Structure 1
């Protein structure tokens, strides 16, 4: 799907962003996208037919200066209209780090929705308990981070196939951090120096398979509930960190068939971007192109009592990072 012309005047903040595009019948290629919806094939600009966005991130310090110079010359003949191309997920990560339970109000809602069947306390009491837990987490505890699969990633305008086994598929709009410099055991103060930029992710989850009912002592089953092919629409743009004034003050909005479901600020995050990146790096080495998903705010389908169905259309946006539109399609059972 190409970008609609009427959206071109407000693609993203800053002078340029990175994207992965393709012609209707051609291979994917890395592109520089300008705010006025023109694109430059970076394979030619960097004289590398095999160049990818991830390769640019491997040498981000050098690439950023070159990209900035190319953006200054956006009237050159090499630029073409964005509308001529299909927009794909902006980067192919090697690793996806996903933060759970990171928005205060969202976690309170989930605490209430996923109650133990034997817990018959009033909702008000359970909400108060969850609020106390969240305050204690922010002050004393560590982020909750788990691993996702790159194979779950799809483009920002691609259809999302709802597996026939997914009984309660749900949306989770998130700010996604893109790593630009290797990060291993970095401090909170150093963490943002390793961030190349930001993009949008919708981390779909099948609520019916989040917990292992057959073995409750094991806890959550993120493989089953979050990693179906296409369950992570990503993009459309990778916006450089220098163009995002404050990742801790961005508005996330998700609309389902035109009705607003999520509308929250990243101010509600319990652990900010720097703390998440630093925490993940204490155990793993974060590599260029890797993603750190920062959690989703309140307003998921469990909160509304309305899960995803065949034909649903999700419109998702994050301040300065653009917007994605995905349509849900039920899997055809063989």
Structure 2
């Protein structure tokens, strides 16, 4: 039986980043430079994943090299250097229903509650039958670690959370068939796609501004580490949970997803050339700030995010 392990990038007292193998239920971290050389990075391991993975398995069973307590290290974004970031939007049925309901009500729809909710349900159902995945690009400069502060920069004050299952690729390509897509997956991690809602649309300019909304520094807390695909038998069985100051805001199974990992990879590969080390965010489940009476993030808030078996994030929100 394979010993459970994770792969991440960490820094210790000297601040220098190093690739680490997470052992013992995230209690210890093995410095992989002893086994792979001083210049090794997680990206290099992902680019040679077919050779790296068996060695990581062996090291998980019989660690060789310096070991640190996980609690004494700072987890950095796990893929280093960072690759491309591709994000799926409107990709959970309950989330789409919430978005559609809010849009109809905010647009002045005064029909009875049952009628508005029925239309929101219809809009959600059509996503899976008449449309393609909706995806956009993120910037590596927005990445931050799983325990780092999130800086709530202006303009805009409606800062929102979106905890998501993220896929890390070990193999790139173009026009990848859906039935072969999982062969390109190294593993899974956690990402929180922080979004400032009140700058998403510019007044009098009918375009979505994702650069301003989602790509500010620290707006993509990611990690703490990658769990290999072979240790996650069914990603749809995972559960996503996010708390703000101890209050649960998101709590949803990945089985509510509209377009699964296979479909997202296949679709994305028809648009861009995917590469090893790329990060693919699969979309946010229900429970964003708008659903909680516009309870936007403010300085002092603490977000705690977890996905089954993938570790935990804890990010404090601070003013610029």
1:233 Cα deviation from its structure 2 partner: 0.3
Q: Which residue of 1 aligns with 2:55?
A: 66
- TM-score, scaled relative to structure 2: 0.94
Contact 2:34 2:65 in 1 (8 A): no
Which region of structure 1 is more displaced relative to structure 2, 237-246 or 130-139?
A: 130-139
- Partner Cα separation in structure 2 for residue 274 and residue 38 of structure 1: 32
**After TM superposition, which residue ranges in structure 1, 4 or more long, deviate above 6 angstroms?**
none
1:237 Cα deviation from its structure 2 partner: 1.1
Which structure 2 residues correspond to residues 5-84 of structure 1 after superposition, within 5 A?
15-36=4-25, 37-47=27-37, 49-74=38-63, 76=64, 78-84=66-72
Contact 2:3 2:60 in 1 (8 A): no
Q: Secondary structure at the match of 1:283?
A: coil
- How has the CA–CA distance of structure 1 residues 112 and 62 changed in structure 2, closer, same or farther, with 3 Å as cutoff? same
- How has the CA–CA distance of structure 1 residues 127 and 210 changed in structure 2, closer, same or farther, with 3 Å as cutoff? farther
1:244 Cα deviation from its structure 2 partner: 0.6
- Partner Cα separation in structure 2 for residue 276 and residue 265 of structure 1: 18
Contact 2:100 2:123 in 1 (8 A): no
Q: Which of 158, 161, 165 does residue 155 from structure 2 map onto?
A: 165
Q: Which residue of 2 aligns with 1:4?
A: none
Q: Which of 236, 242, 253 does residue 248 from structure 1 map onto?
A: 236
Q: Secondary structure at the match of 1:248?
A: helix
Gaps of 5+ in 1: 1-12
Which structure 2 residues correspond to residues 204-223 of structure 1 after superposition, within 5 A?
204-216=194-206, 218=207, 220-223=208-211
Gaps of 5+ in 2: none
- How has the CA–CA distance of structure 1 residues 115 and 205 changed in structure 2, closer, same or farther, with 3 Å as cutoff? farther
Q: Which residue of 2 aligns with 1:271?
A: 259
1:115 Cα deviation from its structure 2 partner: 4.4
- TM-score, scaled relative to structure 1: 0.90
Q: Secondary structure at the match of 2:191?
A: strand
Q: Which of 110, 123, 130 does residue 99 from structure 2 map onto?
A: 110
Q: Which residue of 1 aligns with 2:227?
A: 239
Once the two structures are superposed, residues 237-258 of structure 1 have per-residue CA deviations (whole angstroms, 9 ceiling, x without a partner) of 1000000111112100001100
- Partner Cα separation in structure 1 for residue 127 and residue 210 of structure 2: 21
Which region of structure 1 is more displaced relative to structure 2, 122-131 or 106-115?
A: 122-131
1:211 Cα deviation from its structure 2 partner: 2.0
Q: Secondary structure at the match of 2:270?
A: helix
Q: Which of 56, 70, 90 does residue 78 from structure 2 map onto?
A: 90
Q: Which residue of 1 aligns with 2:272?
A: 284
- Partner Cα separation in structure 1 for residue 60 and residue 156 of structure 2: 44
1:133 aligns with 2:123: yes
- How has the CA–CA distance of structure 1 residues 315 and 117 changed in structure 2, closer, same or farther, with 3 Å as cutoff? closer
1:214 Cα deviation from its structure 2 partner: 2.1
- Partner Cα separation in structure 2 for residue 34 and residue 56 of structure 1: 17
1:330 aligns with 2:319: yes
- How has the CA–CA distance of structure 1 residues 303 and 14 changed in structure 2, closer, same or farther, with 3 Å as cutoff? farther
1:112 Cα deviation from its structure 2 partner: 2.7
- RMSD between superposed Cα atoms in Å: 1.6
Q: Secondary structure at the match of 2:235?
A: coil
Q: Which residue of 2 aligns with 1:299?
A: 287
